[in-house]
Copies of this chain bind each other. A is one copy, B any other.
C-alpha cells in the first residue's frame, strides 16, 4: 500500500515515522515543498534570541535519517498543486519546474499554515519579515547581523509577536509593537493583561495599541513606518499578524472545509474523502468543552494527529477526542498560560459563564523567591462544570495549566476540582495551590 503525505513538518513526519514503525512494508512517500523537514518551529524565537546558535539546531531529525534509517521516500522541493481524487494522484511540480504525479492509496494532507501579512503599501519591502518556517528564521537572523538592526517594529501582539519581542530584547534590540487591537491579549482578564503590558513597559518594549499601520517606506537601509497619526524609523519589521491554514489543495479537491478555512476532519482524522486524511496546522479539531469544530493550530495536536493518522492508515482504529486549546508562552519574565474557553467564548457557545480571578503566590508565604501568580477560572453557572481558565506569573503558571486541562478533559465540576489533592511543599506552592484558591473563589461566585 502507498501512503503519501503532503508536508514534512510536525504532522507529516510524525505520521511518516509512526506509519513505518507500525508497518515497515508500507510504502511511505513525503512530498515537502521546501528543503526543511522535521524542525521545532516553536523554538525559533528562542533561537533568534541567541546569536551564537544556528537555526539548524532546531532540526529534530535530518532528511537522511528519515530516508536511510527509516526507509521513508522523502522528496524535498516537491510542491503539490492538485489532488486528483478520481485517479488517486497528487499532481505538482518539483524543483520549481518539472511536473510530477504521485499515486496514493491513502493520502495525508499536512500542509500547515502560512502567515498573513497586512495588505498595505510597503509590506513587501526587503526589511519586512514574517516567521513561520526555518527559512524565515534564517532570514531574520541574517538580517539582524548584516543590517546591524537596532530597532524592530513588531506588527501584532499575539504569541509570536510577544515571543519575538523577548527574542529581540535579549539581543539588545529596541522593540516597538503595534496592534490594531485596543488591548493586549483580549482573552485574558484586563488585570492579567495589564501584568503583561507592565512587564513589556518595564523592560523597555514600547507597545502601541489601537493603532493602525498605514504603510511602510524604504528609508536608507531601514524603513519609515507610518501610523495614522505618527511616523518613525526602524531597521526591520516583523509581521506577526496571524496565520491561515494551507487548505486550498483540499478545497480545490472538493473536500469539506471547517472553521476559518481549515480542513474539516472527523475524530479519526479522515477528511470527507475516506482515503484522505488531514492533520496539523491545516486541519480542524473538536473542542472537548463545546463539542464544536475549532481551528487552534498548535504543535502537540499536530504531532498527535500525525500519529493517529499513521495508526489509522496501518489498520489500527484510533480516535482523538479533541483539544481544549491549552497554550502557553513566555514573554520576557512572565509565563502566560490558558486552556479551555475564555468567558466570551463560553457565552458564545451557549454557556452561562461565571468567573473567579484571584491573586496568590507561587511558593509558601515565608519561602524565598515567592512570586505573584494570577489565576482566572471559568465555570458554567447551571452545571458548575469548568469551562476554562488562564494563569500568569513569573513562575509556576505554565505547568499548572495542565492540571486544569486534565480537569476539562474529565468534565469536572468546580467542586470536584476543588477537592483535588494537590501536592504541597514550600518551594513549590502555598498549602492551597493557587488553582484550588481560584476554585474555592469560583464556588462562592457560582
Contacts and interface: CB of A to CB of B under 8 A. Distances in A.
Nearest to A411: B410
Interface in A1-37: 10
Copies of this chain in its oligomeric complex: 2
A128 interface: no
Interface stretch (A183-191, A242-250, A427-435): A427-435
A402 interface: yes
A160 B399 CA distance: 26
B419 A409 contact: yes
Interface in A333-347: 335, 337-339
Contacts of A327: 423, 425
A125 interface: no
A288 B321 CA distance: 25
Contact of A326 (B53, B407, B421): B421
A398 interface: yes
A421 B324 CA distance: 6
State which size class the interface on A falls in. 35 or more
Given A40-B366, A58-B366, A364-B43, A402 B423 contact: yes
Contact of A423 (B60, B398, B412): B398
Contacts of A421: 288, 300-301, 322-326, 339, 405, 409
Contact of A422 (B321, B405, B419): B405
A329 interface: yes
Contacts of A301: 421
Interface in A346-375: 364-368
A329 B326 CA distance: 27
29 contacts: A40-B364, A40-B426, A46-B366, A46-B427, A47-B366, A53-B366, A57-B366, A58-B366, A298-B424, A299-B431, A300-B422, A300-B433, A301-B421, A303-B432, A320-B419, A323-B421, A324-B421, A326-B423, A327-B425, A337-B423, A398-B429, A399-B399, A401-B423, A402-B422, A406-B406, A406-B420, A409-B420, A409-B421, A410-B416
Interface of A: 10, 40, 42-43, 46-47, 50, 53, 57-58, 60, 163, 288, 298-301, 303, 320-330, 335, 337-339, 364-368, 396, 398-403, 405-407, 409-410, 412, 416-417, 419-429, 431-433, 435-436
